[in-house]
Chains A and B, each alone.
Chain A
Amino acid sequence: MACTVLSAFPYLTPDEFDCACRALVDRAGSCTAAQTDGGWSTLRLVSQNTTSLKITRCLEVQIPALDADLHEPHTHTQAQAQTQARGQAQALEDEDEDPEALVRSNLKPILQIDYDIVLSPTYQVPVLYFMLRWHNHQGRVGLDAVYQYVVPEQYRKQLQSVGVMGGISFGYHPESGSPAFFVHPCNTVDAMARIADGQSVTTGTYLLIWLGLVGLSVNLHVPHELVAPDGPSPS
């Protein structure tokens, strides 16, 4: 895919955003280790009226003893089983030095995070929406759960200290109209301009830089294969 210089960095036009999403999907597709290593269980481009990029992660979560009483009984749909399998594969990747991982109960609580990157028609930069879903556990899915399980500890204080209720809001997904969390985009423009030089950012690299800036605070890591200097060599 041709990478083009942006017409008004750090802003993106809808076409440039579409191009940037496709570039990221191409990168991930040509890089077999990316999805497992970065913990991205799926990466999907949706382009109906507008383009969005959906990334799903499944985290195995240690539930504090108090919450563990709420454990769901052994009801287990097929979809859950599949997610469970993915989660277990992930666990093996992460902890392959731990032989105990192999014999763990297969009913560990799994927190599925569905991220969705869309272009804000107001700010003209990408916005990160996300929703939470538990498997094998009837847990909370509110803002407190976001700070407890999704936001890494080193970002909590900083995120909670801004705005009316912190840097993460609970609003509505622009396409589906369903409740969803989102990371405030109002500082994205300044932050992008500060860390990157408009001349060198292309549709091919924009989202990698943006993910590094916005994604980390809500546990969305860029798999390091994707940021190798020249990208993965074609096989």
Chain B
Amino acid sequence: MDNLASPAAIQKRIWDGRIPLEIVLAPSQSRCYDQTDPYIVSFPRVCYLPSLLPKLRAFFSPYLIEPGSQHHDGWFAFEGVPLKWHYPIGLLFDLYAGADPATKTGFGSDDSQESGSSFPWRLTVHFSDWPVEDLVQLDANGIVMNDAFINSVKEADFLRNGTAKGIMSLSKEDSSGLWKAVEDVDLPSFQRISNILLPPPSQPFRNVPIRIFLPLLPDEESGSLKVVQSPLPPLMQALSVHSSQSISSRSSPSTQPQTIGGVLHTLLPNLFPSRRTPVLAKPVLHGAVLPMSAPIEEIVRSSAYGDGWAYVVVRMMG
């Protein structure tokens, strides 16, 4: 395996990444209860579930008990848990599906493909009884969805630059173009617009937009995802071997890139007692285990979702 993949090559592979989905209609909303044919689709990791709704609404329309429901009445659940549609499906999969993440040596354990517990990922779609306590309601024109995406883009932009002027001064065309590029999984268009927002590679981010999702406990309330976010500068003071000696060392302070292992060790010392080796838990992004030594700015520049964020899921080991 090529360990020196360029950021552009990594980004391309992530945008090419797809998750096989098997979507069934909620039995309570089907004329033939649980005998409805499932809808099977290979869905891009960087996309959002609501974009499937018009096709699903059409596919399931002969079965619907309530024929008056519209596509934006649709919402998804996994094992009874309503799925937050404002997160890209790649993150939802990493959070909920329980699939063994890929490592440098291979794809989970040997028998994971065969037992097939997580592929395809089985979701349920509902077209009524919106869970108002859990999910923000969608609208016919996709404005709520677009707004959520742009808010997230703004936050990432603010962290990278210290202002949100970049995204706010983006032309209306480019601003809606960015969302369209993600919806259409159109990487060239996406890159053209996101390059307007990103500081050039020579200029480090002010802070790195990373959110860390803690493991879900089986007995916990489904809606309350535990998310850790803190200002994360890309560079930090180099740890000197002799740091215990004198603070008034004459050597000029040097900096080194902050790694994901360092961040996890600082923010979650109980789960990550070492900054170099995963002991109790491992960080997962796009279905793969992140190397603890990966610099956080490189992670975001190569592997962020369309909104500019890297959403890292913490998975317990063993």
Size bin of chain A's contact surface: 20 to 34
- Report the minimal beta-carbon distance from A165 to chain B, rounded to whole angstroms: 5
Which B238-256 residues have C-beta < 8 A from chain A?
A: none
- Report the minimal beta-carbon distance from A106 to chain B, rounded to whole angstroms: 28
Compute how far the CA of A142 lies from the CA of B137 in the bound complex, rounded to whole angstroms: 9
The proximity string for A residues 100-124 relative to B, scoring 1 for CB distances below 8 Å and 0 otherwise, is 0000000000000000000001111
**Cβ-neighbour of B136 out of A121, A124, A170 (below 8 A):** A170
In this assembly, does B266 line the interface, its C-beta being within 8 Å of a C-beta of chain A?
no
Instruction: Given the known inter-chain contacts A121-B230, A122-B229, A177-B223, please indicate yes or no for A164 contacting B150, CB distance below 8 A.
Output: yes
- Report the minimal beta-carbon distance from B207 to chain A, rounded to whole angstroms: 9
The proximity string for B residues 259-300 relative to A, scoring 1 for CB distances below 8 Å and 0 otherwise, is 000000000000000000000000000000000000000000
Residues of B within 8 A of A179 (CB): 132-137
In this assembly, does A163 line the interface, its C-beta being within 8 Å of a C-beta of chain B?
yes
**Closest residue on chain B to residue A142 by CB atoms:** B137
**Closest residue on chain B to residue A190 by CB atoms:** B163
Assess the A169–B147 pair: CB atoms within 8 A: yes
In this assembly, does B84 line the interface, its C-beta being within 8 Å of a C-beta of chain A?
yes
Which A161-186 residues have C-beta < 8 A from chain B?
A: 163-165, 169-172, 174, 176-179, 184, 186
Instruction: Given the known inter-chain contacts A164-B143, A165-B144, A177-B223, please indicate yes or no for A122 contacting B159, CB distance below 8 A.
Output: yes
**Cβ-neighbour of B150 out of A121, A123, A163, A172 (below 8 A):** A163
Residues of A within 8 A of B148 (CB): 169, 171
In this assembly, does B201 line the interface, its C-beta being within 8 Å of a C-beta of chain A?
no
Which A135-166 residues have C-beta < 8 A from chain B?
A: 142, 163-165
Residues of A within 8 A of B154 (CB): 186
Which B130-167 residues have C-beta < 8 A from chain A?
A: 132-137, 143-144, 146-148, 150-151, 154-155, 158-159, 163-164
Residues of B within 8 A of A165 (CB): 143-144, 147
In this assembly, does B168 line the interface, its C-beta being within 8 Å of a C-beta of chain A?
yes
In this assembly, does B224 line the interface, its C-beta being within 8 Å of a C-beta of chain A?
yes
Assess the B146–A164 pair: CB atoms within 8 A: yes
Which B176-229 residues have C-beta < 8 A from chain A?
A: 223-225, 227, 229
Compute how far the CA of A176 lies from the CA of B133 in the bound complex, rounded to whole angstroms: 10
Size bin of chain B's contact surface: 20 to 34
Residues of B within 8 A of A163 (CB): 147, 150
In this assembly, does B68 line the interface, its C-beta being within 8 Å of a C-beta of chain A?
no
In this assembly, does B106 line the interface, its C-beta being within 8 Å of a C-beta of chain A?
no
Instruction: Given the known inter-chain contacts A164-B147, A165-B143, A171-B148, please indicate yes or no for A178 contacting B158, CB distance below 8 A.
Output: no
Compute how far the CA of A176 lies from the CA of B222 in the bound complex, rounded to whole angstroms: 11
**Cβ-neighbour of A122 out of B155, B168, B224, B225 (below 8 A):** B155
**Closest residue on chain A to residue B221 by CB atoms:** A177
In this assembly, does B318 line the interface, its C-beta being within 8 Å of a C-beta of chain A?
no
Compute how far the CA of A172 lies from the CA of B146 in the bound complex, rounded to whole angstroms: 15
- Report the minimal beta-carbon distance from A97 to chain B, rounded to whole angstroms: 40
Assess the B158–A123 pair: CB atoms within 8 A: yes
Instruction: Given the known inter-chain contacts A122-B155, A165-B143, A179-B136, please indicate yes or no for A172 contacting B84, CB distance below 8 A.
Output: yes
Which A65-124 residues have C-beta < 8 A from chain B?
A: 121-124
In this assembly, does B231 line the interface, its C-beta being within 8 Å of a C-beta of chain A?
yes
Assess the A171–B224 pair: CB atoms within 8 A: no
Residues of B within 8 A of A124 (CB): 231
What 10 A-B pairs come out closest when comparing CB atoms? A164-B147, A177-B223, A186-B164, A121-B229, A122-B155, A179-B136, A165-B147, A177-B224, A170-B136, A165-B143
**Which residues of A line the B interface, CB within 8 A?**
121-124, 142, 163-165, 169-172, 174, 176-179, 184, 186, 189
Extra A-B contacts (4), CB below 8 Å, given A163-B147, A174-B227, A179-B133: A164-B143, A165-B147, A176-B224, A179-B132
